[in-house]
Structure 1
Amino acid sequence: MGVLRLVWRVCAALTVLLVLGVVVALFALVVRGRWREVVLRRWFRALVRAFGARLTVVGGPVFQATPSRGVLVVSNHVSWFDELAIDAVQPIRMVAKRDIRRWPVLGWLITAARTVYLDRERLSLLPGTVAELASALKDGAAVGIHAEGTTWCGLASGRYRPALFQAALDAGVPVRPVVLRYLVSGSPATGAAFVGSDTLVDSLLRVLRLRGLVVEVSVLDEVAPGRASSRRELAALVQASAERALYGGRSVPAQRVHGGVVERESV
């Protein structure tokens, strides 16, 4: 991509993120309910577009079938861009690793979206996080998690970790599987992935340089309460649904990229 187009995208992204973001943040502080969600959703869609990407939603228009009933939204994890794409469909509370809070600008944005931070180095705090999520779900919130626990290259996914699924069981709410795919010229692409030795700046610039990037968000059928008796069974059900959407029923080995090298693991 030419330098002028790259500069234009950087300016557009910063304008939507900082200038328009301040206005949206002030509006969100004083307005609640449907109008708050509409404004936030349109802002996130504008931000996706400012980064040069186009959003495509497959399936349901939102994650939450009944606004008064909570839902645990479970997606695969490819990039920092995932949160922007998810909130562009429906603004929800996300669970993220604690390190993200320190990211420049994006960390502030993600924190302002009422993100629940998970400290993976102190697993003794996990029951408290699960309890916090269960409480939010019981109150009717839509809460999102990346069940793999880390980012993958986008051509395959990792095993869904069951721990946070306990919140859905405790709250008695459905789970909504969501599949994110990054496409260029109609084919899956790894350019948006944030993996291995990438820095946030490197990943941001790589996304801004991509031509024709499409972020496809597939909203799959809910897994109703009672379908699983344990968090492991629930995680397996949700992962099976996601893999059918990703691979069409084919068995694909998981791949993780480290410094440009693809390492394979059995799923």
Structure 2
Amino acid sequence: MVGGHRWALGTQRFWSVVMLKVFGVKTVLHGNKPKVGLMMSNHQSYIDIWIIPKYAITVFVAKAEVKKMPLVGWGASAVNTVYVDRSDKDSRRATKNEIAERIRNGRSVIIFPEGTTGDGNGLLPLKPGMFFTAAEEGFPIIPTAIFYEDPDLAWVGDDNMAGHFFRNFSKWSTTAHVTFGEPITGTDGEELMIRVRDWKLAQLEKFRNNYRTQH
């Protein structure tokens, strides 16, 4: 078990380092590496999935469509992503069960509760489902915040993925800041969602005030 854990960690870190080099993204960790739990991060770019495995062995949860995306789908699978079909009740139930099993076995699971990418200046409305699951199952939530100094790294709206990819691939480098909070637990899903949202908003504001690149 220990050997398998180390192998998985090494594989994730390898692909994380490779893909971050491809995009010229340097990372800065603020604070400590995360404890095991249900990691809930803000979401700005497909690059997010390669930042977090640099610091923790994780399983990602993503919508099924991600698997079909050029390069991104391959990269997501390389870091042990669990795909969920949101329109299929059985798929959603199976995903919740798999998340529970992974956490019980000491493996962190990361989700992006906004459900899609934002511009990094704040947060989109959070989807409440997994907050209530965490409350029911007693899972510790690890709030996570990612911030890119270059706002162009955010992939939002109707931006064409290929165009976005090549614009950023051609840049020399940029820096991403990441921080992990202490575990948050509770029995009220709504309260958990508010606490996580407030923590992330505070972290993003701090990063934005100190590190945002002006164009």
The alignment covers a number of residue pairs equal to 204
Q: Report how far residue 34 of structure 1 moved.
A: 2.4
Unmatched tracts of structure 1, length 5 or more = 1-30, 65-69, 184-188, 249-267
Aligned to 1:33: 5
Aligned to 1:115: 81
Supply the RMSD in Å over aligned alpha carbons: 2.0
Q: Report how far residue 124 of structure 1 moved.
A: 6.2
Aligned to 2:119: 153
Aligned to 1:48: 20
Q: Percent identity at matched positions? A: 26
Greater RCO (Cα-Cα under 8 Å, separation 6 or more): 2
CA distance in 1 between counterparts of 2:135 and 2:106 reads 14
**Contact between 2:23 and 2:173, CA under 8 Å: does it hold in 1?**
no
Q: Report how far residue 35 of structure 1 moved.
A: 4.5
Moved over 4 A (4+): none
**Is 1:57 equivalent to 2:29 in the alignment?**
yes
Q: Report how far residue 242 of structure 1 moved.
A: 0.9
CA distance in 2 between counterparts of 1:127 and 1:243 reads 30
CA distance in 1 between counterparts of 2:87 and 2:156 reads 19
Instruction: Indicate the SS of the match to 2:101.
Output: helix
Aligned to 2:197: 239
CA distance in 1 between counterparts of 2:54 and 2:83 reads 21
Q: Report how far residue 123 of structure 1 moved.
A: 5.0
Aligned to 1:174: 140
Instruction: Indicate the SS of the match to 2:120.
Output: coil
Cα 1:156/1:123, change in 2 over 3 Å: farther
CA distance in 1 between counterparts of 2:162 and 2:97 reads 34
Unmatched tracts of structure 2, length 5 or more = 207-215
Aligned to 2:213: none
Scaled by the length of structure 2, the TM-score of the pair is 0.85
